[in-house]
């Protein structure tokens, strides 16, 4: 029996201990609720007391500071802004007001409300009091960036960065500021750092690609623009840039794909949409797909009749699209162009035997065809020059043609252009055996030729 008593005593002590712990825990929880209630009651009491004092004196500094502090901590920016606005007026006459803090918080409240001019005034005043504050330097730098004062922005943001080297908005704004003043290497360094810390910043990624492009690192630029093409916000611009780079590299198929992806986006800015259509039409023209190009050019004309050279392009390529031979004459590869010219030579004189003895091509500018012509009335060696240039042909080209006639001992020359001849060129040929044929007559000749008709292969062309 004596052995049981200590055991019972231990059990009683244990139960009592558990009971006490439960009581203490319950009180602790109840104390938390009481604490929150007290805090809420304290906030309400402060607001009540401050408003009561302001009813008697609307410029009571102590009451205004109490209200401003509560509204600022709760991010009730409109009320905080009004309170700090009054406190700034009182700062010079009331010793209890921290002028730096009041101006800083006034600036932040104004910035949150989108009052940029007022925010700038608050931060500028705060900086005149204290120049090494991070919030002041960053926000002033950001506002200078918004005002396009990029040099000032860089100076302030560099100071903010020295106080917080990992602050992403500071790095971002620095990078974009350097980009705006065309210091692309410096811009890249800061933008890369910002992207490392915030990879979802698509606008900075786009700007990084622009930096690569400006520094002639087009492969890196294309990779980024290609990555951004599907993005709902940056996709249309990225597609336009990517397509332009591919166009400059004569990668017309890739450029067409870029521009088409860009046009698939919704909510494109009108100026971006019209430029995408214009460059897509240009790419199709480079591929000799005139019908598709004209479709986009007409779309642009219906929206913006005076956009760039759209009207001229439509007038030019509408005719080409309707005249396959004219299209070949102006735009086809050299082999197709020469084949068409040979066909024109063979049909130039009726009831004549014509033997082509030589063909030479001067780059893509013109082709010279030498032919032996035998008609019932005369026989001679005739040189034909077919000029692909659409503008005015001057005296120099005609003189060159005349010199060539002498070299090959041709008795007559026929100079044919899709454009026209200047008065000097016409005067030069007046006393010489050279006929000048302009666009109207060439068009009639082209209309009478079936370019699709098969013919014997021409002699190899000699390139000058």
Angle between helices 310-322 and 270-286 (to 10 degrees): 30
**pLDDT recorded at residue 437:** 95
- CA dihedral in degrees (306, 312, 314, 319; nearest 10)? 160
3-state SS record for the chain:
CCCHHHHHHHHHHHHHHHHHHHHHHHHHHHHHHHHHHHHHHHHHHHHHHHHHHHHHCCCCHHHHHHHHHHHHHCCCHHHHHHHHHHHHHHCCCCCCCCHHHHHHHHHHHHHHCCCHHHHHHHHHHHHHHCCCCHHHHHHHHHHHHHCCCHHHHHHHHHHHHHHCCCCHHHHHHHHHHHHHCCCHHHHHHHHHHHHHHCCCCHHHHHHHHHHHHHCCCHHHHHHHHHHHCCCCCCHHHHHHHHHHHHHHCCCHHHHHHHHHHHHCCCCCCHHHHHHHHHHHHHHHHHCCCHHHHHHHHHHHHHHCCCCCCHHHHHHHHHHHHHCHHHHHHHHCCHHHHHHHHHHHHHCCCCCCEEEEEEEEEECCCEEEEEEEEECCCCEEEEEEEEECCCCEECHHHHHHHHHHHHHHCCCEEEEEECCEECHHHHHHCCCCCEEEECHHHHHHHHHCCCCCCCCCCCCCCEEC
Count of beta carbons in the 10 Å neighbourhood of residue 260? 14
- For 253, residues 6+ apart whose C-beta sits below 8 A from its C-beta are 287
Residue at token pair 């049909």: 347
Whole-model pTM: value is 0.71
Between 134-146 and 150-163, two packed helices, what is the crossing angle to 10 degrees?
160
Predicted pLDDT at 273 = 97
**At CB < 8 A and 24+ separation, what contacts does 242-251 make?**
243/276, 243/279, 243/280, 243/283, 244/279, 245/213, 245/218, 245/221, 246/222, 247/279, 247/282, 247/283, 247/286, 249/218, 250/286
Tokens of 331: 């735009």
Question: In this structure, what token pair is assigned to residue 77?
Answer: 């920016």
Residue pointed to by tokens 């704004």 = 173
Asked whether 429 and 401 are in contact (CB, 8 A), the reply is no
Residue 238 and residue 230: Cα distance in Å, rounded? 9
Taking the C-alpha atoms of residue 84 and residue 103, their distance in angstroms, rounded to an integer, is: 7
Nearest to 382 by CA among 446, 437, 441, 433: 433
User: Does residue 87 contact residue 61 with C-beta atoms inside 8 Å?
Assistant: yes
Return per-residue pLDDT of the chain as tens, 464 residues: 445 444 444 444 455 444 444 444 443 444 444 344 444 557 788 888 887 788 888 888 888 899 999 999 999 999 999 999 999 999 877 778 999 999 999 999 999 999 999 999 999 999 999 999 999 999 999 999 999 999 999 999 999 999 999 999 999 999 999 999 999 999 999 999 999 999 999 999 999 999 999 999 999 999 999 999 999 999 999 999 999 999 999 999 999 999 999 999 998 999 999 999 999 999 999 998 999 999 999 999 999 999 999 999 999 899 888 888 998 998 888 999 999 999 999 999 988 999 999 999 988 789 999 999 999 999 999 999 999 988 899 999 999 999 999 999 999 999 999 999 999 999 999 989 999 999 999 999 998 886 444 333 444 444 44
What crossing angle do the helices spanning 116-129 and 77-90 adopt, rounded to 10°?
A: 50
Give the pLDDT of residue 364: 79
Beta bridge partner(s), residue 383: 370, 413
pLDDT in the model for residue 176 = 98
Compute the distance between CA of residue 43 and CA of residue 46 in angstroms, rounded to an integer. Answer: 5
352 vs 403: CA distance, rounded Å: 26
Looking at residue 40, its pLDDT comes to 52
Q: Which residues does residue 417 pair with via DSSP β-bridges, in sequence order?
A: 387
What is the C-alpha separation between 65 and 67, in angstroms, rounded? 6
Q: Which domains are delineated in the chain?
A: 56-325 (1.25.40.10), 333-463 (3.40.1350.10)
Rounded Cα distance between 197 and 191, Å, is 10
């Amino acid at each position: 029996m004596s052995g049981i008593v200590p055991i019972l005593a231990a059990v009683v002590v244990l139960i009592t201990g558990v009971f006490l712990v439960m009581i203490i825990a319950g009180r602790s929880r109840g104390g938390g609720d009481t604490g929150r209630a007290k805090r809420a009651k304290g906030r309400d009491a402060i607001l009540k007391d401050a408003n009561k004092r302001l009813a008697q004196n609307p410029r009571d500094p102590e009451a205004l500071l109490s209200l401003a502090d509560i509204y600022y901590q709760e991010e009730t920016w409109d009320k905080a802004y009004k309170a700090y606005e009054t406190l700034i007026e009182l700062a010079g006459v009331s010793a209890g007001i921290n002028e730096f803090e009041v101006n800083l918080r006034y600036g932040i409240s104004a910035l949150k409300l989108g009052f940029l001019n007022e925010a700038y005034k608050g931060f500028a005043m705060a900086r005149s009091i204290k120049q090494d504050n991070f919030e002041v330097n960053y926000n002033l730098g950001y506002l200078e960036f918004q005002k396009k004062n990029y040099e000032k922005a860089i100076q302030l943001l560099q100071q903010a960065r020295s106080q917080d080297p990992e602050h992403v908005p500071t790095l971002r704004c620095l990078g974009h500021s350097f980009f705006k003043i065309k210091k692309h290497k410096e811009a890249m360094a800061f933008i890369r750092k910002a992207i490392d810390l915030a990879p979802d910043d698509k606008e900075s990624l786009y700007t990084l690609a622009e930096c690569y492009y400006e520094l002639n690192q087009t492969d890196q630029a294309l990779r980024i623009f290609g990555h951004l093409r599907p993005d709902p916000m940056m996709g249309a611009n990225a597609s336009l840039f990517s397509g332009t780079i591919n166009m400059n590299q004569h990668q017309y198929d890739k450029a067409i794909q870029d521009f088409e992806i860009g046009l698939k986006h919704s909510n494109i800015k009108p100026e971006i949409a019209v430029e995408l259509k214009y460059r897509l039409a240009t790419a199709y023209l480079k591929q000799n797909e005139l019908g598709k190009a004209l479709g986009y050019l007409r779309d642009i004309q219906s929206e913006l009749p005076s956009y760039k050279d759209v009207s001229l392009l439509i007038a030019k390529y509408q005719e080409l699209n309707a005249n396959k031979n004219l299209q070949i004459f102006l735009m086809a590869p050299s082999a197709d162009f020469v084949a068409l010219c040979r066909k024109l030579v063979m049909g130039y004189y009726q009831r004549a035997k014509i033997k082509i003895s030589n063909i030479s091509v001067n780059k893509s500018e013109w082709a010279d065809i030498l032919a032996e012509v035998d008609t019932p009335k005369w026989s001679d060696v005739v040189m034909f020059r077919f000029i692909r240039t659409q503008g005015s042909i001057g005296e120099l080209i005609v003189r060159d043609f005349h010199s060539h006639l002498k070299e090959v001992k041709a008795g007559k020359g026929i100079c044919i252009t899709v454009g026209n001849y200047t008065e000097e060129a016409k005067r030069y040929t007046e006393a010489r055996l050279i006929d000048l044929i302009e666009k109207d007559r060439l068009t009639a000749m082209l209309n009478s030729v079936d370019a699709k008709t098969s013919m014997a292969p021409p002699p190899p062309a000699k390139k000058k």
